[in-house]
Amino acid sequence: MSTRTASDGEERLIESRDQLVAPMQAGEKPASAWRIGTEHEKLVFAHSDHHAPSYDEPHGIRDMLLALRNYGWEPVEEGGNVIAMSGTDGAVSLEPAGQLELSGAPLENLHQTCAETGRHLAQVKEIGERFGIGFLGLGMWPDKTREELPVMPKGRYAIMMRHMPRVGTMGLDMMLRTCTIQVNLDYGSEADMVKKFRTSLALQPLATALFANSPFTEGKPNGFLSYRSHIWSDTDPQRTGMLPFVFEDGFGYERYVDYMLDVPMYFVFREGKYIDAAGQSFRDFLKGELPALPGELPTEDDWQDHLSTAFPEVRLKSFLEMRGADGGPWGRICALPALWVGLLYDQTALDAAWDVVKDWTMEEREALRNAVPKLALDAPIPGGRKLKDIAREVLDIARSGLSARAKLNQAGDNETGYLGELFEIAESGTVPAQRLLDLYNGPWAGDITRVYEESF
C-alpha cells in the first residue's frame, strides 16, 4: 500500500473536472519511455519461534528498516516513526502487520527488474542473518491468527482497520495476513490504456492461477489454492472486483473518474496526519461538504491519495497495476512482470492476447474470477474448456512479445527466460499451492512449521 509523505510544494485545489482526469492523461508516454515498476511483499518471521516481529521489539521491524541505512537507504517518517526507507531502488515500506514490501523503481527492462529484486533480497537476508529473521514468499500467513499478528504504526492502517469490518468479513485478513507481487505498467494513449486494461483484467484470473500460493490458514489446508484471492471477494465490494464498466463501449479516463468518485473515501492527509473520512464521499468533498473537513475543498494530492484506495483486480492511476498474483519466492517475482510486459508492451502480442478473451461475456469473466481461488488452472472457461487449456497459448504470446522487445543483457540473452517457471507450471498443470499441499500431506506429515524451511 502507498506510503504518503508531506507535499514539498504548494498544493493546488481541485477546481475543475479536468484536474480529476489529469493523472490518467499524464500517464501517457511514447513506447520508448514505457517502464516496469515491480512491487513484492514478503512475510517476516523470527527463526527462534516463527513469531511475526512487532514494530518496536529488539531486532523487530523498525530495527530492520533502519539497518537498510547501511545500504544507502534513507528513512521516511510519520508521526515520529520510521515507516519506510527510500533509495535508488524505490522504497521499502511496511504493510499493516509488518509484511515487508519493495516498491521498485521504474526500470527499462526485466534484466534490471530482476537485478533490483536480487539486490533487495540480498540486503534483507544479510540483515536477517544478523537479527535472526527470515522471510517467507507466500500469498498468506500459513499459520497465524489475526490476533497473533502485530499492527504497524501507520495512520492510514488504523483508519482502514476500523472501517474494514463495516463493509466485509475478510478485510482484516487482507490487511494483516496476505502478500502479493504486482507490476505497474505504462500506456501510450487513452485507447492503448483501454485495450491494456481490458486484456489484463480479463486475463488476471490466469495470473492468479499461475501464482496461486496460499493454501493454508491457521496451520491447516483451507480448501483453496489462492485464499488470498478469495479474501478479496468479501473485503469491500465498492472498491474491489472485475469492474464490468471497463468492458463497456465508451470506457476511458472519464468513466474511471466516475468510478473513483463513487468509491468511498478512507482518509484525508493534513499536516503529516491522517484524518478519518472512512465511508464519506469525494463528491461531497468537491462541494466543500465533507463531514471530516467541513468547508474545505480537496487538493490534487487528495485526489492522488484517493486513487490509491480502490483495490480492483487491475487499477488505473497514471499507470496500470496488475493486482492478481499471490506472493512468491525470487523466481516468481521476476516472472510476474515478465508475463505482463510480454503481453502488453508489444502490439502484436497485445492484439493476440485480446483475441483470446474478447468474446467472453461479463458473466463468464466473473465466473472465472470466482472459480480460480479454489480451482486455479482447472477453473472452467468458455467453450467447455479449462483455464489450463489456454495457459500455454497465453504464455507463448508473452514469450513472443518479450522476444520482439529484444532487450538483451550482457550475456546476450533476451527477457524470455524469466517466463521459465510459468511454463513449467502451465505444462505440469500443478500450481505452487498444490506443490505445498503435496509436501504437507507427504514429507511434512501435516507439520505446517516445515513451511519455514521454504523461505526465500
Q: DSSP for 148-183?
A: GS-----HHHHHHHHHHHHH-SSHHHHHHHB-EEEE
CA 199/CA 386 separation, integer angstroms: 18
With 0-12 CB in 10 A as exposed, 13-18 as middle and 19+ as buried, what is 384? exposed
Selection from 451, 418, 453, 427 nearest residue 181 by Cα: 418
CA 157/CA 292 separation, integer angstroms: 17
Q: Following CA atoms 256, 258, 260, 262 in sequence, which dihedral angle do they give, to the nearest 10 degrees?
A: -150
CA 281/CA 197 separation, integer angstroms: 26
Whether residue 179 is contained in a domain is answered as yes
Q: Please answer whether residues 340 and 322 qualify as being in contact, where contact means their C-beta atoms are separated by less than 8 angstroms.
A: yes
What are the residues whose beta carbons fall under 8 Å from the beta carbon of 122, sequence distance 6 or more? Answer: none
- Which pLDDT belongs to residue 119? 98
Classified as helix, coil or strand, 91 is strand
Which residue is listed with cell 505445498?
436
How many Cα atoms within 13 Å fall on the side-chain side of residue 42? 26
User: Residue 247: which domain range?
Assistant: 17-263+310-454
Q: What is the pTM of this model?
A: 0.97
The DSSP H or E segment spanning 23 is helix 17-26
The domain that holds 183 is classified in CATH as 3.30.590.20
Cβ-defined contacts of 303-308 (< 8 Å, 24+): 303/14, 303/19, 303/20, 303/23, 304/23, 305/2, 305/4, 305/267, 305/268, 305/269, 306/260, 306/263, 306/265, 306/282, 307/23, 307/260, 308/1, 308/2
Q: Please answer whether residues 171 and 236 qualify as being in contact, where contact means their C-beta atoms are separated by less than 8 angstroms.
A: yes
Selection from 412, 82, 100, 375 nearest residue 223 by Cα: 375
Q: Please answer whether residues 113 and 38 qualify as being in contact, where contact means their C-beta atoms are separated by less than 8 angstroms.
A: yes
Q: Please answer whether residues 406 and 111 qualify as being in contact, where contact means their C-beta atoms are separated by less than 8 angstroms.
A: no
Q: Please answer whether residues 155 and 78 qualify as being in contact, where contact means their C-beta atoms are separated by less than 8 angstroms.
A: yes
- Which pLDDT belongs to residue 4? 52
Supply the DSSP symbol for 212: -
One-letter identity of residue 335: A
Instruction: Indicate the pairing of strand 74-78 with strand 36-46.
Output: unpaired
Whether residue 198 is contained in a domain is answered as yes
Whether residue 178 is contained in a domain is answered as yes
Please tell me the total count of domains within the chain: 1
pLDDT tens for the chain, 456 residues long, are 556 555 555 789 999 999 999 999 999 999 999 999 999 999 999 999 999 999 999 999 999 999 999 999 999 999 999 999 999 999 999 999 999 999 999 999 999 999 999 999 999 999 999 999 999 999 999 999 999 999 999 999 999 999 999 999 999 999 999 999 999 999 999 999 999 999 999 999 999 999 999 999 999 999 999 999 999 999 999 999 999 999 999 999 999 999 999 999 999 999 999 999 999 999 999 999 999 999 999 999 999 999 999 999 999 999 999 999 999 998 899 999 999 999 999 999 999 999 999 999 999 999 999 999 999 999 999 999 999 999 999 999 999 999 999 999 999 999 999 999 999 999 999 999 999 999 999 999 999 999 999 766
Burial state string for 39-73 with b = 16 or more CB within 10 A and e = fewer than 16 = bbbbbbbbeeebebbbbeeebbbbbbbebbeebeb
Whether residue 290 is contained in a domain is answered as no
* First-last CA distance in the chain: 22
Between the CA of residue 229 and those of 156, 177, 232, 431, 450, what are the distances in Å? 22, 12, 5, 14, 24
Burial state string for 148-186 with b = 16 or more CB within 10 A and e = fewer than 16 = ebbbbbbbbbbbbeebbeebbebbbbbbbbbbbbbbbbb
Whether residue 274 is contained in a domain is answered as no
With 0-12 CB in 10 A as exposed, 13-18 as middle and 19+ as buried, what is 349? buried
Whether residue 402 is contained in a domain is answered as yes
Which residue is listed with cell 498544493?
11
Q: Please answer whether residues 229 and 373 qualify as being in contact, where contact means their C-beta atoms are separated by less than 8 angstroms.
A: yes
How many Cα atoms within 13 Å fall on the side-chain side of residue 139? 32
Whether residue 431 is contained in a domain is answered as yes
What Rg, from alpha-carbon coordinates, does the chain have? 21
- Which pLDDT belongs to residue 94? 94
